[in-house]
Every structure is written in structure tokens, then in C-alpha cells.
Amino acid sequence: MATNPRRRRKFSQSVGWTMVVAGLCCVFDIASAPAQTGAGGCDLLTAEGPICSNYLACDSYGIEPSCSQDGFFAQLNQRRATLAKNGISLQNNLTQYYFGNTTGGLEREFRYSGHGDYLANFDFGKLGVQEGLFLTVRTEHRFGESGSGLSGSFIPSTLPADLPSAEKEHLYVTNFLITQALSEDFVLFAGKVDALSGDANDFAQARGITQFSNLAFVGNPATLRTIPYSTLGAGCSFLLEGEPLLSFMVLNAVDTTRTIGLGELFNEGCALTTELRLPTNFFDLPGHQLFGATWSSREVASLSQDPRVILPTIPIDRQSGSWSLYWNCDQYLVSDRRDPKRGWGYFGRAAIADDQTNPIAYFLSAGLGGTSMISGREHDRFGMGYYYSSTSNPIAPFIANAIGGLKDEQGVELFYNAAVNSMVSVTPDLQVISSFRDSLDTALLAGVRMNVAF
């Protein structure tokens, strides 16, 4: 147990389940013409032009730009807005982490790491090719040494620092999604999809960059066993006011982050996922209720690694098929009348999974989050959350043989995302984690993230 846990992790790169919410929201909201207000109070592009918009950042990362800018930042946003007006929307993010464990856990040290995320959306209607046709391309890379393994937890504490491949620092294309709108309410899509932005939640998502960084609050880890992070797939989505309402996808069952994926297409079966996200208006305030399910026909032979879990590769009995059912909600408790999406509220997640193949039998999380209530700091965000992960009884003996006695895992995360300007935010982060490893004391992790959107 004295060796570095990163050397024991041989990942197979998979995270999450459906790209629908992030990809489709981006391309359709960006394509909308007249002036309107998007999620988080972000001003969309107008037909006449600028604009102070960095909508992709708002949509995917929870960043909200300021319209009152001068100099370099204003010029950069102006150029980005001009490109978006003509059909090409860009959002690049570079996030750096300095994170460490101060007590308990597996190792006590601080580590530096980072993650680059480069997203481009092409609206071929505006480009004069075909109305309703869009292309989303995402490339990612990581660098440095992640601090996720310091606590000895099953769920990583700084998820993006391990993506898209915990073993390599190369730049990979993790998303190449072609979308065709057949009407304002129905779209078809196909290509290579990354799934980190599924399980959408206003207060606990944002790809682990400007909100929570622990996977327990970025998505639902009970889906780990069924749906890869980046692989080929196709699907459809019914839209409500430009946002996915009901989505369905068929995916290749194995992760192909490092390859195109055509050679591995359906060689080990397929994976299915469906998701329903219903808008609500409880207390006359906005919110959502999300219900989802995943299933994979792949034959399970081991707990092969991906960047969402921190375990050695453990052989288990062969069994075909695995499934999960999940739910989440977000509900505003305080909301700005001028912009209902500016405010704060509560969130919750729950899931059950096939405990014969999944190391997580069930999962729960809840917390508070939203935009800052401090006067003059309206562009800041905050969050506090608690999670509980139940270790599968059938699989526990296999894991225990490799790393010792087990228990259920639980943890807490608190963060405050301070916007320096429209492009830079700094996020102090504190986590307390009681690992699933029975021999480890409770870990106290602390660190800071800096995100640059350019």
C-alpha cells in the first residue's frame, strides 16, 4: 500500500453517459437569432451583433461574462461574437489545479495538474450550407499529477485533472457530433460523443471546472459501469424551448477516446441510454426533475479502470449486461425577477445500479448552490454538497482481496468560484472524504482551481 496509487491505476478512459444536454443545448441556443437571455443570465448574440456574450462558457461551465469590459478581453469577446454571428462559436478553457491532502487518507502531499478543453460549434445554416445542420468538436488533454488518489477514495476529487486519459497527456478528440434539426422540436445526431455533460443540473455539473470538482457532484458515478466517456453513437432528442426534453442514444459499448473507434464499433456489444428532463415551477421558481436509465450488453470480466474511479484492475466473474437508474433535481429557492436563472437553490441526485457488476450499489447526494448573494459579486458562484456511495456487497470481496477491508464511502465538498473578469475565475475548494477503504482515516483535502476561458 506504500506505492503511488496512480501507478496502480490502469485506466480504460470512460466517463459518463450522454452528450445530448451539453452538445445540443450549445448548438441550438447559439443558433437562436433574436436577443434573449440564456441560462445563468447570459446574453445571447443578437442579429445586429455584439454583444458581450460568451454563451458557451455560461452553458457548459457556469461562467457569466461582464458586459462592461475594456481592452484585450473586450476585443477577444468581440471577435468571438463576430465569429458566432457568422456560424462559428468557440470556447476554450484551461483549468489549473493545486490540490492536496492535509490529514488522513492515503497520502499527504499537494500536487499540481491541469486540463485543457477546446470546444467549437459550427452552424452550417449561418455558413450557407444547410439550415438546421450543426457540428460540435471537442478536444481535451491533461497535464501534471492529479490529486484525486490522495484521499484513497473510490470517487475522484479532482475529476477533470484525470481526463480524457489518466495515462496520457496527449490531445484527444473526444467529441465530433453532427446534429440535424428536422424541426424546432426534434433533432437527430451521430458521431463521436463525450458524455461528461449528461445528467444536467443547474447547481452541480459544469464539467468539474467552475462548480464542484468531485465526480460525486459533476455527475452520477453509478452510471460508470455502463456508458463510456468518449465513443461512437447516434440518437435523437425532443426539445422544449430549445433544451432537450427527452433523449435516447445507442452507443458503442467500449471507450475509444484514443482512437476514431470504427474498428471497435459494437465488437463488444452496445450501450443504451435515455433521459427525460422536465422543467418545473415549484414555488413559482424554476427547477428541473431528471430521470434516466442506462444499459450495456458488454460482457463484464473485471473492474477495468476509467478516470472516474480509483481502484486496481480487479477480475470478477463474467456476466453479460449491466444497468443503472438515476434521478436528479435542481430547484431555485431565490431567483432574480429580471433573470430567473440568477439565484440559488438546492440539488439532489440518487441512483441504483446492478450490484453484480457495479462496485456502487446505490448513490445519494444533495446540497446547495448557485450565484453569489454578495453585493458586487453577482458573477461568482458557490456550492456545498454531501454524497453517500454504497459499496456493492457481491463485488466487495473481490476488491477487499486487493486492497483490504471495505465500507461505504461518503464526503463533503465546499467551493466558492470568484470571477476575476469575464475570462478568469479562481475557485478555493475544500473536501472532507471518508474513504471506502476501512483502514484509512477521514481525509481533509484543500486546494484552488484557476480557469481561463479564451
pLDDT of the residue at 310: 56
Per-residue confidence (pLDDT) for residue 321, from 0 to 100: 82
> Alpha carbon 87 to chain centroid distance?
25
pLDDT single digits (tens) 112-160: 999 999 999 999 999 999 999 999 999 999 999 998 889 989 899 999 9
> Residue 31: is its pLDDT beyond 90?
no
Q: Which residue has the higher pLDDT, 240 or 79?
A: 240
Across the range 234-261, mean pLDDT stands at 91
Confidence of residue 338 (pLDDT cuts 50, 70, 90): confident
Predicted local distance difference test score (pLDDT) of residue 129: 93
Name the pLDDT band for 317 (thresholds 50, 70, 90).
low
* Grid coordinates given for 48: 445586429
CA gap 113, 449 in Å, rounded:
10
Please state which CATH number belongs to domain 5-26+90-453: 2.40.160.180
Q: What was the pLDDT predicted at 394?
A: 75
Element (H, E) at 76: helix 71-85
Write down the residue that cell numbers 452552424 correspond to: 123
Q: Give the pLDDT band (50/70/90) at residue 428.
A: very high
Among 13-17, 163-167, 264-268, the range scoring the smallest mean pLDDT is: 13-17
For the chain, give the percent of residues with pLDDT over 90.
Answer: 51
pLDDT digits (tens, 9 = 90+) for 366-385: 999 999 988 888 899 999 99
Q: Is the model more confident about 303 or about 20?
A: 303
Lowest-confidence pick of 34-48, 161-175, 330-344: 34-48
**Res 227 pLDDT > 80:** yes
pLDDT band at 17 (very low <50, low <70, confident <90, very high): very low
Burial 231-247 (b: 16+ CB within 10 A, else e): bbbebbbebeebbbebb
Position 60 confidence tier, pLDDT thresholds 50, 70, 90: very low
Rounded Cα distance, 103 and 380, in Å: 29
Does residue 233 carry a pLDDT above 60? yes
Domains of the chain, residue spans: 5-26+90-453
Dist CA 153 CA 443 (whole Å): 9
Q: Give me the chain's average pLDDT, please.
A: 81
Share of the chain above pLDDT 70, in %: 78
- Find, among 289, 203, 201, 195, the residue nearest to 249 by Cα: 195
What local confidence, expressed as pLDDT, does residue 341 receive? 78
Better pLDDT: 25 or 70: 70
- Residue 309: per-residue pLDDT: 54
Least confident of 33-37, 169-173, 282-286, 440-444: 33-37
Query: Per-residue pLDDT for 35 more than 60?
Result: no
Contact 134, 179 (CB under 8 A): yes
Region 289-313: mean pLDDT is 72
pLDDT of residue 66: 42
Q: What is the 3-state secondary structure (H, E, C) of 256-285?
A: CCCCCCHHHCCCCCEEEEEEEEEEECHHHC
b/e map 78-94, b = 16+ CB within 10 Å: eebbeebbebbbebbbb
pLDDT grade, residue 167 (50/70/90)?
confident
| Pairing verdict, β 424-434 and 443-453 | antiparallel
Residue 70 is predicted with a pLDDT of: 52
